Amino acid sequence: MSEDRPQYAATKTPPDPIPTNAEIAERLRAVAHEMRSLGGMMDYVGGMGDLAVRGRLLFYMTLPLMDWAHEIEGEAK
């Protein structure tokens, strides 16, 4: 890295308050729901084109999110 670039200190701080596992799982599910909804719209509008393919991919990318949410809730028990 060049020395003429500005150097930034790591300033990542944890959120306040720290979210619980249940809250994280809930947010993952909310993101997955939005992704599924948008993916379905893209698939419908896209017909047989690239937009439809991307919509289906977006829809199927939600599966790991749902699994992660389930696993995170299981860790809290």
- Domain locations in the chain as residue ranges: 21-75
* Exposed e or buried b per residue across 29-67, where buried means at least 16 C-beta atoms within 10 angstroms of its C-beta: beebeebbeebeebbeeeeeeeebeebeebbeebeebee
In this predicted structure, the answer to whether residue 74 has a pLDDT above a threshold of 90 is no
Distance CA 35, CA 42 (A): 10
- Name the percent of the chain lying above pLDDT 70: 83
pLDDT at 9: 63
pLDDT at 76: 63
Q: Is the pTM of this model over 0.95?
A: no
Q: Which of 75, 39, 37 is nearest to 57 (CA)?
A: 39
Work out the mean pLDDT of the chain and round it to a whole number: 87
Q: Region 9-26: what's the mean pLDDT?
A: 82
